[in-house]
Amino acid sequence: MSDDSLTHEQRAVVERRGRFTVRACPGSGKTFVVARLLAHRIREWKARHAGIAALSFTNVACEEVRRSLVALRCDAFGAYPHFLGTLDSFINSFVFLPFGHRVMGCAGRPAIVGLPERPWVASGRWAWGRPACNRSGCRLEHFSWDLAGNIVRSGRRPFQCPTGHDRCSVLKREFGKDGWATPSDAAYWAVRVLESFPEVAKALVRRFPEVVVDEAQDTSEMQMRILDLLVGAGLQEIVLVGDPDQSIYEWRAAHPELFERKASGKELDWDHRSELTESRRNSQQICNAAQPFSTLASAARGTCTGIRPVLWIYDPKRPADLVPRFEEYCETNGVAPSAGSAAVLVRNRTLLNRILEVPDEVDPWHVDAGGSATRLLALAAVERDAGRVGRSLGLLDAALATLALRRATVSGARTTAMDIDRRRALTTVLERLPSAAMPLGAWADALQTMFPAAAAVAGVAVSQDEAQELRPKAFVKSGRKHVTDFLRVPTRALFGDASRVRRVQVETIHAAKGKTYDAVVVALGSRGECAVKQLGVGQPEPEQRRAMYVAMTRARSLLVIAVPTGTVREDVANFSGCDCAEVPPLAEASRTRGRTGGRSRRAGVAE
């Protein structure tokens, strides 16, 4: 296997040993380098019962590494004695599930509830029983512990508990003693296991003497603490690969500063970092334009000079007009627009819905059991069409259980794997669900027709009258009007963070992370997350700055920043790497307002 395709920076990372970090700029071939590093190490691997643990933040990232290993003819990696999977699955498989009962006080092996493939909502004996808790909209799965053992809201969103967490603290302890844990709980209990029983950490280090963590900027405090405990137990070979500027999952408890601290050399157990500063994705013009939103001292090195990014003005009342203009811009500059080559990226679903021309905040599902089941069935169809079969089967199972009134308590959730016959029956039902590309109204009509016979295959009796309850609302209230437009919207558009408009992909920045497009429009609003004034001048908030950096660096050759009507050049000083000809300076905008009767330049700007 030749290493001729590696750059000098990449080869240095592949051949390096010890405890170190790799800061990789967007498009630097991070996944390629991780796969090369694993292939390089496994070529001379001798141990029969000790292996390398290759970990990442998401299943999607793990699959990218797996595909790269297959391309390198190293497809055996991941089989015993090695491990390839998410950091959570590694912690659960080797620490929490086998040893969690030793710190939880439960009688046997614990179980995890609330995994994506097995949706769960606490009810029955786990209800709050307090009006204040009910008014706050809290659920048991919203809470876990921090490193100090204090009850906290999961994720990074601030929350002031009106009762001081006393009720949820009691319930969480009872929950653990019964052998249950949410994914956040599992990480906490795993930390307690490794701290209380150092021999477990030492045994894990003997089992996996080398660890490689991809997307390390998205690790939580609990996950990083577990890695630190393994280092303390003697782990000598560990590599953390990531980019703090691309950490956009703080709402899922990501702490990019933990990675930065190790990369800075402030921790004696870690060597100084390596860097990958050459982007194989972005042009130099795009690298330069994105630089103000990065913490790097200088811009990454691009593949070519490229076309200078541009700023466009758009009408916030008609954001969908961006799409045809974008298609024309792509064709003019030699890019054939398609869902795989061109994308419009937004920060939140409000603007996404306006571009998709979907009513804002549509909730078409009835609150009764039939409405809950319909939503689960629709989401199962969306996941099936996206190729996520495991999650779609779990959602279908939950929908059938809801209809059979078998999900009143947490009982039954302990079984995290379906038996073969059950899986076959659910697969048959899943194949018959209507396509999520259908408009919601038509999708519901088709569901009501096919579902009684399909549900019988899975052992659930649903009469034709009961099937009529599997319907969305006939209308929803939008402002002072009742609207029915959502019934003509593709079912998948009511769930996902992405959809196709004409020939262009339209999606959120989070949905686009890890992707590459030839051409990208980043659409900004005037208020809320990723607003023009929050990003265009001064020092943006870290989370918004990182989101903008991720969005801009998805583009290979063409980049457009779209700002709403009323924006002036003084509002976009941080976009100095873009052509701002379309954005007027304040003086010119003031003269224009004078000629039009003194109308405020902020008139008509989107909220």
Comparing 29-33, 106-110, 379-383, 487-491, which segment has the lowest mean pLDDT?
A: 487-491
- The answer on whether 31 is annotated among ligand-binding residues is yes
Summarised one tens digit per residue, pLDDT across range 133-184 is 666 667 777 788 999 998 887 754 556 777 777 777 888 888 899 898 988 9
Query: How far is Cα 85 from Cα 61, in angstroms, rounded to an integer?
Result: 9
- The answer on whether 27 is annotated among ligand-binding residues is yes
Comparing 19-23, 100-104, 147-151, 153-157, which segment has the lowest mean pLDDT?
A: 153-157
Residues 340 and 481 in one domain: no
SS3 496: coil
Residues 381 and 487 in one domain: yes
Task: Report the pLDDT value the prediction gives residue 253, as an integer from 0 to 100.
Answer: 82
Task: Report the pLDDT value the prediction gives residue 411, as an integer from 0 to 100.
Answer: 38
Task: For residue 604, give Cα distances in angstroms to 33, 35, 318, 345, 564.
Answer: 48, 50, 11, 22, 9
Pick from 133, 154, 178: which residue ends a domain?
A: 178
Residue 125 belongs to some domain of the structure:
yes
Task: Report the pLDDT value the prediction gives residue 239, as an integer from 0 to 100.
Answer: 96
Q: Are 504 and 513 in contact (CB under 8 A)?
A: no
Task: Report the pLDDT value the prediction gives residue 180, as an integer from 0 to 100.
Answer: 87
Query: How far is Cα 287 from Cα 553, in angstroms, rounded to an integer?
Result: 7
Residue 251 DSSP code? G
Residues 484 and 527 in one domain: no
Residue 602 reports pLDDT greater than 50: no
pLDDT band at 593 (very low <50, low <70, confident <90, very high): low
Residue 558 belongs to some domain of the structure:
yes
Residues 121 and 211 in one domain: no
Summarised one tens digit per residue, pLDDT across range 186-228 is 999 999 999 999 999 999 999 999 999 999 999 999 999 999 9
Residue 93 DSSP code? I
Here the tokens at position 185 are: 């709980």
Tell which wins on pLDDT, 347 or 75.
Answer: 347
The continuous run of DSSP H or E covering 277 comes out as none
Tell which wins on pLDDT, 240 or 125.
Answer: 240
Task: Report the pLDDT value the prediction gives residue 269, as an integer from 0 to 100.
Answer: 78
Residue 105 belongs to some domain of the structure:
no
Residues 50 and 196 in one domain: yes
Task: Report the pLDDT value the prediction gives residue 605, as an integer from 0 to 100.
Answer: 36
Task: Report the pLDDT value the prediction gives residue 417, as an integer from 0 to 100.
Answer: 46
- The answer on whether 163 is annotated among ligand-binding residues is no
Residue 12 belongs to some domain of the structure:
yes
Pick from 125, 143, 178: which residue ends a domain?
A: 178
- The answer on whether 28 is annotated among ligand-binding residues is yes
pLDDT band at 415 (very low <50, low <70, confident <90, very high): very low
**Average of pLDDT values for 104-132?**
68
CATH number for 79: 3.40.50.300
- Regarding beta strands 19-24 and 83-86, do their DSSP bridges make them parallel or antiparallel, or are they unpaired? unpaired
Query: How far is Cα 52 from Cα 71, in angstroms, rounded to an integer?
Result: 19
Residues 428 and 460 in one domain: yes
Q: Based on the structure, what is the number of domains in the chain?
A: 4
- The answer on whether 262 is annotated among ligand-binding residues is no
Query: How far is Cα 118 from Cα 178, in angstroms, rounded to an integer?
Result: 19
Query: How far is Cα 198 from Cα 516, in angstroms, rounded to an integer?
Result: 43
Summarised one tens digit per residue, pLDDT across range 26-70 is 999 999 999 999 999 998 899 999 999 999 988 888 988 999 999
Q: Are 433 and 380 in contact (CB under 8 A)?
A: yes
Please report, as a single letter, which amino acid is at residue 297. A
Residue 32 belongs to some domain of the structure:
yes
- The answer on whether 29 is annotated among ligand-binding residues is yes
Residues 123 and 209 in one domain: no
Residue 470 belongs to some domain of the structure:
yes
> Which range of residues forms the domain containing residue 159?
111-178
Residue 409 reports pLDDT greater than 50: no
Task: Report the pLDDT value the prediction gives residue 599, as an integer from 0 to 100.
Answer: 45
Task: Report the pLDDT value the prediction gives residue 462, as an integer from 0 to 100.
Answer: 82
- The answer on whether 108 is annotated among ligand-binding residues is no
SS3 51: coil
**Average of pLDDT values for 323-341?**
95
Query: How far is Cα 71 from Cα 73, in angstroms, rounded to an integer?
Result: 5
pLDDT band at 291 (very low <50, low <70, confident <90, very high): very high
Residue 346 DSSP code? E
Residues 484 and 385 in one domain: yes
pLDDT band at 287 (very low <50, low <70, confident <90, very high): very high
Task: Report the pLDDT value the prediction gives residue 119, as an integer from 0 to 100.
Answer: 53
Residues 488 and 507 in one domain: no
Q: What is the mean pLDDT of the chain?
A: 85
pLDDT band at 356 (very low <50, low <70, confident <90, very high): confident
**Average of pLDDT values for 92-107?**
96
Residues 217 and 270 in one domain: yes
Tell which wins on pLDDT, 63 or 231.
Answer: 231
SS3 153: strand
Residue 295 reports pLDDT greater than 70: yes
- Residue 437 CB contacts under 8 Å (≥ 6 apart), including other chains: 385, 490, 491, 492
Residue 578 belongs to some domain of the structure:
yes
**Average of pLDDT values for 410-433?**
69
Residues 380 and 486 in one domain: yes
- Regarding beta strands 143-145 and 310-314, do their DSSP bridges make them parallel or antiparallel, or are they unpaired? unpaired
Residue 206 belongs to some domain of the structure:
yes
- The answer on whether 477 is annotated among ligand-binding residues is no
Residue 414 reports pLDDT greater than 50: no
Residue 188 DSSP code? H
Concatenated DSSP letters of 62-75: HHHHHHHHHHTT-T
Summarised one tens digit per residue, pLDDT across range 456-477 is 888 878 888 888 888 888 877 6
Pick from 260, 276, 292: which residue ends a domain?
A: 276
Give me the phi and psi of 212, to 5 degrees please: -125, 125
**Average of pLDDT values for 534-557?**
93
**Average of pLDDT values for 406-429?**
60
Residues 322 and 401 in one domain: no
Tell which wins on pLDDT, 75 or 65.
Answer: 65
Query: How far is Cα 454 from Cα 162, in angstroms, rounded to an integer?
Result: 46
Query: How far is Cα 288 from Cα 269, in angstroms, rounded to an integer?
Result: 35
Residue 604 reports pLDDT greater than 70: no
